[in-house]
Amino acid sequence: MRLLDLRPLLPPGLVVDAIEPVADRVIIPVHAPEAPRPCPACGGPTNRLHSRYERRLLDLPSHGRAVELLLQLRRLRCLAAGCPRQTFAEPLPTEVARRSGRRTARLDGLVGHLGVALGGRPAAGLAQRLMLPVGKDTLLRVVRRQAPKAAGPIRALGIDEWAWRRRQRYGTILCDLERRRIADLLPDRDTNTVKAWLRAHPEIGVVARDRAGGFASAVGDASPGAVQVADRWHLMDNASAAFLEAVRSAP
């Protein structure tokens, strides 16, 4: 009987040693090929073994069970004379897992997509149904870690309020409209807070906002050269409300 090749089912660069089904999960002992690894301090390759250690990684679930990879990794000796690192842990490829991570890179990507799509608690509920043992705080941490970093000046800005707690506490959300991502979150909607942020970004040329007076005065004072435009959502909302009012009042 031909045995199933498990290599396409696992992250690249790992060798399967066994498969151990238990009550609520599948444990797969694996190891990395024992090739020379570069020292992180001097870059010199070495294959001299110092010791071995275990590392556990959660992977994508399979057949209704969580999957856990039990990695057997090496600690290697650096053979270069004068190198400050006598030993170092065998690194994993970034395609397998990030440094000190508890999940494989592909599972981390899935967790990030769930967090972006659903938020904290809803995503955590769906994750439990998908056999992904992650909580709401973990989901939010992954989303923050995977968020793209600042990539150049902001030229077109969207500004609006957002609710910490509806009808009780509000903040200000600032969006980079060209890159379609959040630029910053301010802790309140105070005019002085918004002015301070705008003065730190003099490159802004266009600001899309609602028609409330607070943001208008903040932009006018801090960025007098910026063109202020009404954002599309509020234009559509106002047009829809005007249309419905006209229909209701028609004889």
Asked if residue 142 belongs to a domain, the reply is yes
Q: Which of 83, 113, 147 is the last residue of a domain?
A: 147
The verdict on 140 and 169 lying in the same domain is: no
Q: Are residues 173 and 111 in the same domain?
A: no
213-222 and 191-199 helices, crossing angle to 10°? 30
Q: Which pLDDT belongs to residue 4?
A: 55
Q: Are residues 169 and 128 in the same domain?
A: no
In a domain, 199, yes or no: yes
pTM of the model: 0.61
* Order of all β-strands in the sheet with 156-165: 181-186, 169-176, 156-165, 206-209, 227-230
Q: In this structure, what DSSP letter does residue 19 have?
A: -
Q: Which residue has the higher pLDDT, 98 or 213?
A: 98
Partners of 244 in the β-ladder = none
Write down the pLDDT at residue 51: 92
- Burial label, 150 (beta-carbon count in 10 A; 0-12, 13-18, 19+): exposed
Res 1 pLDDT > 50: no
pLDDT-derived band at 5 (thresholds 50, 70, 90) equals: low
Quick one: 241 and 176 in the same domain? yes
- pLDDT tens-digit series, residues 176-190: 988 888 888 888 888
**Do 167 and 192 belong to one domain?**
yes
Is residue 2 in a domain?
Answer: no
Distances (CA, A) of 79 to 83, 87, 226: 8, 9, 60
Structural domain count of the chain: 3
Mean pLDDT within 196-208: 92
Whether the predicted pLDDT of 228 surpasses 50: yes
Q: What whole-number percentage of the chain has pLDDT above 90?
A: 21
Regarding whether 160 and 139 lie in a shared domain, the answer is no
CA distance 251 to 245: 12
Kindly report, residue by residue over 126-175, the tens digit of the pLDDT: 888 888 888 888 888 888 888 766 667 889 999 988 888 878 888 899 99
Judged against a pLDDT cut of 80, whether residue 6 lies above it is answered with no
For residues 115 and 165, state if they share a domain: no
Report pLDDT for 8: 66
CA atoms within 13 A on the CB side of 226: 28
Please state the rounded mean pLDDT for residues 99-114. Answer: 89
Q: CA 223, CA 202: separation in Å to the nearest integer?
A: 7
> Is residue 196 pLDDT above 60, yes or no?
yes
Asked if the structure places residue 3 within a domain, the reply is no
Among residues 233, 194, 193, which one has the least CA distance to residue 211? 233
Q: Is residue 41 part of a domain?
A: yes
Q: Which domain holds residue 37?
A: 10-93
> Do 160 and 244 lie in a common domain?
yes
